[in-house]
Structure 1
Amino acid sequence: MSDPREERRSHGAPASAFDLASSPFRVDRDRIAGSPFFARLGGVTQVVSASGSGLLHNRLTHSVKVAQVARAIAERLRATPEYAELLDTLGGCDPDVVEAAALAHDLGHPPFGHLGEQVLDRLARHRFGLADGFEGNAQSFRIVTTTDVGGPSAVGLDLTAAVRAAMLKYPWTRLHHPEPHPRFMAEPPRGAGEPTEAPGTGSGKFSAYVTELDDLEEARAPFEGRLADWQQTVEASVMDTADDIAYAIHDITDFHRIGVLQHAPVAAELGQWQANAATLAWLSDEEVRRQERLPGRSLELFRRRMHEKDSWTVDDETFHAAVARVRSELVDELLATPFDGSVEAEQAVARFSMRWTSRLVEEMSVVDKPSTRSGHVLLGREQWHEVQVLKFVHRRFVLLRPDLALHQRGQARLVTSLVDALDQWLADRHEADRLPRRLHDLVELATAEYEALARSEPAVLIGATGEAPQGRDAVHALARGRAVIDFVASLTDKQAVSLLDALSGRGAQPWSDAFVL
């Protein structure tokens, strides 16, 4: 088996005269940090719009924190002698690689966070017939390999194979690669299974569109024979775990700071479950669901879902201990005192964040043969359960709030209307020469891609109709759809709002203001 270390540094353009670093992985990091797609993340929703408050994370600050945690994990694992040989066998764990991948992992997130992602996916599949729809991870990979122009070749960023591979949280396409597709495994990898509400649509999560399949295969080539084709690289596993840690901790503290996460309901949910766990365990699923509005029942349903999805690691005794720790340190310590902007309140948030981040990072391990539901880099069992409980609190008391749903329904309509308006503009032959220049360029790029796929691999273009596109016009319609999706996905929240206002005749800002990258 060849040494992959040099191969990992290949398949990317060499450093140019304009690059500041000599290490190829540092060059990658610099190119990502200098990308306009990275800068726009400062205006993209993490969970809810920051609205200039300075109290909520956006996708940019989230990415920086993920990079911070990922690098700390990589450095700790590399410094642990018992993992050195295994890390080399699996393909390496370079701190510069995981930092670069972490900075790049959310480049493709569209306006309004995951809500925008869901809307664009639905429109891509149903309106435009794009078989692989839209997915934020795949869009990030498309940016660094195709639509950004900051690399020496002006096609993507010319990143090394290692960094591109480390971005692949889900190293498969939605439907076609690899064969057999991981969604058909007896226990599919996390994200590979089809959504229960959308059977036949392919994996719920994936990291590359068919237009970037060559880039995926090239990035993964140095790891052939070391990892199964559906497994993350070690560096991707580090980045993925760091994303989970940052998400679980800073989203909790964000919503404490703005007063959304309240002590009483969280305390009641966790406390009632602790007091009645034995009794609740005897109830049927139907009975628990019928009582779901009562404190403790949502957490009981969550415990049962964990057994269904992650039986390889879930343990009831450890889950009880995790609930107790979260109740003690989050509910009784942090949430017990409302955030008032004082020095004491800021210090309490900082202590909670630092204590939990340090605890989680210190308990990381590397395993040779992980479950198909995990990567080679794992949180300790106690810490994994604690992260799950934190994520439950965030979902139950933030994401499921009716007032958040109210705003998100409006945002969904906005994204849908914007896609409609741009699609109509593209179809207006009298205005073809006045399209936004970037949209025009994206149409040309996608047209070349889809024409090539129609000639070489028409099966990968089969959409909801079950038939490959027939004729030049059908192929060009797919390309226009992908271009519109690319264009909308590249906007900030504010740009999306302003652009729709302008297209609807409601815009108040000068026509010369820029809307796009």
Structure 2
Amino acid sequence: MDPRLARRGTASRTEGGPQGLAAAEFRTDLERIRFSPYFSRLAAVTQVISQGAAGQVVHNRLTHSIKVTAVARAIAVRLASGPDGALLERLGGCDPVVVQAAASAHDLGHPPFGHLGERVLDRIARNRFGLADGFEGNAQSFRILTALDVHDLHGDGLDLTAATRCAVLKYPWARYGVPDPHPSAADPAPRGAGPGPEAHGSGKFSAYSVDVGEMLAARSAYPRIAPWQQTVECSVMDIADDIAYSLHDLDDFHRAGVLQHASVAAEFRTWTRERSALAALPSAELRADDRRPGRSLELLRRRLHAKDGWIVDDDAFATAVGRVATDLVDGLLAVPFDSSRAAERAVGRFTATWIAHFEDSVTVLADPPVRAAHVVLGRQAWHEVAVLKFVHQRFVLDRPDLAMFQRGQAQVLSSLVGDLDSWLSDPMDAPRAPRRLLDLVELAADGYRTLARDRPELLVHPTGETGATADDLARWARGRGILDYVASLTDDRAVDASATLAGHAARLWDAGSAL
């Protein structure tokens, strides 16, 4: 049997011949993901800001995932019928349904409040529970698919094919230890594998230590893919995610009036006009006064050079700045959004044009550099995505009003985790904790006991020390179970649960439903 079709818990169907078999198996994966409550939950999880905070309809994790799926499928279909078909097959294939499944699943692990929640839970995991691999949204997605979710009466996880499991491994390594040599020690390191800002090991990764067995088993189906490389189907999903992220959040904040034409235009026009003078300034001087127009774009250009010398090019960067300035700054943003049909047409035209441009720019590499994948954006499009994402970061994510709002969300998660930990640490009252929470702690305990037996070298403390006592294993299991539980909540349920445990709920039975 094709190893890409291997499942852990159930036998694959055999009717219809090899091609029909693959189609049926991959369609089963897609349906299991889309019927999952974890997938439905994404409708109430923040993409950047919640609808309540914006006062209007904005993208959430579900609408983002649906759009990533559409872009990913379009790219996969184009590649499958293109001149690189034979190369793609040698590398393991590029099935559009596998790509759809991976795109549907890629954000399942995002906790309440999006990336802000991810950072908060990572810090709590390491500092409160001593979990050296902390919390990471990509690793949480893989854990949901392989351990936390269920699809029948037996076993854990959705029992997906190896192809789909591999297609969600954007960073196919653990935070530390696996594989060996570990990519965080490489120079240059793969994208995402550099040391995290607050902990040893890789900043981004796709499997916790308790789940590395699942990751390695799935990856064994792709012997032609290097240990640090994504599968072809994963790289298509990853590109589609970048494309959607670079465009759709800009739509939201243009509609909300957050992206102000004057400030964005000043940044782009100043950099274009003073490009040579800005290039001559020391980086320290640029960072010290980075709110002055033009300086943030120049810092972006330097970051791209520092990280991605394999593709960065100053002329391509300047061209990208010019095109974004023409289409976004002097085009879409030049006319304030007024909810008219003409304004909606302008947004739709802008987004559709850029998506088509990016889809047409995708290319295949037989032997990619360490910071690239087998499927990549062309050089010019790569720079344009970087510039579009810069607009989002500089003029939305760095705003003080958003930061203040997020500080409150961080407090909600910190209080919720602390109260749940106190509850489970109370021997008299722990049995009355939510049934699902207790199940998740026991599931994590099984995982750590198995790890202690089979891979004890992966029992690592945040300090880097190895080895674990029975108390360590119990603490880690309680922490991982609580994190699995909190990460499965929607934004609103996290707020309600935090208020309930703090004694602020007004009505008993409404309050009880929060947990």
TM-score, structure 1 normalization: 0.95
Mean Cα displacement is larger for which, 46-55 or 104-113?
46-55
Which residues in structure 2 correspond to 1:106-121 (within 5 Å)? Answer: 106-121=107-122
Give yes or no for the alignment of 1:258 onto 2:256: yes
SS in 2 for 1:153: coil
How much has 1:278 moved relative to structure 2? 1.1
Counterpart Cα distance in 1 of 2:449 and 2:405? 39
Contact residue 469 and residue 475 of structure 1 kept, 8 A: no
Which of 80, 99, 102 is matched with 1:78 structurally?
Answer: 80
Contact residue 55 and residue 257 of structure 1 kept, 8 A: no
Which residues in structure 2 correspond to 1:59-208 (within 5 Å)? Answer: 59-80=61-82, 82-151=83-152, 153-195=154-196, 197-198=197-198, 201-208=200-207
Counterpart Cα distance in 1 of 2:209 and 2:410? 26
Per the alignment, residue 300 of structure 1 pairs with 298
Per the alignment, residue 50 of structure 1 pairs with 51
**Paired residue type of 1:368:** A
Per the alignment, residue 486 of structure 2 pairs with 488
Counterpart Cα distance in 1 of 2:28 and 2:106? 17
Counterpart Cα distance in 1 of 2:149 and 2:460? 27
How much has 1:433 moved relative to structure 2? 2.0
Contact residue 500 and residue 514 of structure 2 kept, 8 A: no
How much has 1:15 moved relative to structure 2? 6.5
Question: 1:334–1:366: structure 2 CA closer, same or farther, 3 Å change rule?
Answer: same
How much has 1:249 moved relative to structure 2? 0.5
Mean Cα displacement is larger for which, 435-444 or 459-468?
459-468
Counterpart Cα distance in 2 of 1:427 and 1:469? 23
Counterpart Cα distance in 2 of 1:30 and 1:53? 33
Counterpart Cα distance in 2 of 1:53 and 1:437? 35
> CA-to-partner distance for each residue in 1:159-197, whole Å, 9 max, x for gaps?
0000000000000000011000011112110001103x3
Mean Cα displacement is larger for which, 230-239 or 506-515?
506-515
Contact residue 44 and residue 111 of structure 1 kept, 8 A: yes
Counterpart Cα distance in 1 of 2:191 and 2:418? 33
Contact residue 183 and residue 193 of structure 2 kept, 8 A: yes
Counterpart Cα distance in 2 of 1:289 and 1:22? 52
Mean Cα displacement is larger for which, 507-516 or 365-374?
507-516
Counterpart Cα distance in 2 of 1:433 and 1:294? 57
SS in 2 for 1:223: coil
Contact residue 31 and residue 151 of structure 1 kept, 8 A: no
Per the alignment, residue 17 of structure 2 pairs with none
SS in 2 for 1:222: coil
> CA-to-partner distance for each residue in 1:106-154, whole Å, 9 max, x for gaps?
0000000001000100111111011111000000000000000125634
SS in 2 for 1:430: coil
Q: Aligned Cα RMSD in Å?
A: 1.6
Question: 1:382–1:427: structure 2 CA closer, same or farther, 3 Å change rule?
Answer: same
Counterpart Cα distance in 2 of 1:319 and 1:475? 50
How much has 1:474 moved relative to structure 2? 2.2
**Paired residue type of 2:160:** L
Give yes or no for the alignment of 1:424 onto 2:422: yes
Counterpart Cα distance in 1 of 2:319 and 2:208? 41
How much has 1:14 moved relative to structure 2? 4.3
Identity of aligned residues (%): 56
Question: 1:327–1:122: structure 2 CA closer, same or farther, 3 Å change rule?
Answer: same
Counterpart Cα distance in 2 of 1:390 and 1:60? 22
Counterpart Cα distance in 1 of 2:514 and 2:227? 40
**Paired residue type of 1:421:** D
Per the alignment, residue 433 of structure 1 pairs with 431
Counterpart Cα distance in 2 of 1:514 and 1:145? 27
Counterpart Cα distance in 1 of 2:285 and 2:209? 45
Question: 1:291–1:130: structure 2 CA closer, same or farther, 3 Å change rule?
Answer: closer
Give yes or no for the alignment of 1:280 onto 2:278: yes
Mean Cα displacement is larger for which, 291-300 or 398-407?
291-300
In structure 2, stretches of 5+ residues that fail to align are 14-21
Which residues in structure 2 correspond to 1:359-508 (within 5 Å)? Answer: 359-468=357-466, 470-508=468-506
Counterpart Cα distance in 1 of 2:163 and 2:308? 29
In structure 1, stretches of 5+ residues that fail to align are none
Contact residue 111 and residue 118 of structure 2 kept, 8 A: yes
Counterpart Cα distance in 2 of 1:515 and 1:216? 33
Question: 1:422–1:320: structure 2 CA closer, same or farther, 3 Å change rule?
Answer: same
How much has 1:444 moved relative to structure 2? 1.1
Counterpart Cα distance in 2 of 1:92 and 1:79? 12
**Paired residue type of 1:46:** Q
**Paired residue type of 1:69:** V
Mean Cα displacement is larger for which, 260-269 or 151-160?
151-160
Per the alignment, residue 515 of structure 1 pairs with 514
SS in 2 for 1:506: coil
Counterpart Cα distance in 1 of 2:507 and 2:221? 50
Per the alignment, residue 210 of structure 1 pairs with 209
Which of 3, 6, 9 is matched with 2:2 structurally?
Answer: 6
Contact residue 457 and residue 467 of structure 2 kept, 8 A: no
Counterpart Cα distance in 1 of 2:74 and 2:507? 44
Question: 1:84–1:477: structure 2 CA closer, same or farther, 3 Å change rule?
Answer: same
Counterpart Cα distance in 2 of 1:271 and 1:250? 24
Question: 1:37–1:232: structure 2 CA closer, same or farther, 3 Å change rule?
Answer: same
Contact residue 148 and residue 154 of structure 1 kept, 8 A: no
Contact residue 151 and residue 158 of structure 1 kept, 8 A: no
Mean Cα displacement is larger for which, 434-443 or 464-473?
464-473
Which residues in structure 2 correspond to 1:25-40 (within 5 Å)? Answer: 25-40=26-41
How much has 1:452 moved relative to structure 2? 1.8
**Paired residue type of 2:191:** R
SS in 2 for 1:378: strand
Counterpart Cα distance in 1 of 2:145 and 2:260? 40
Counterpart Cα distance in 1 of 2:152 and 2:145? 9
**Paired residue type of 1:488:** V
SS in 2 for 1:274: helix
Counterpart Cα distance in 2 of 1:344 and 1:151? 49
How many residues align structurally?
Answer: 504
SS in 2 for 1:450: helix
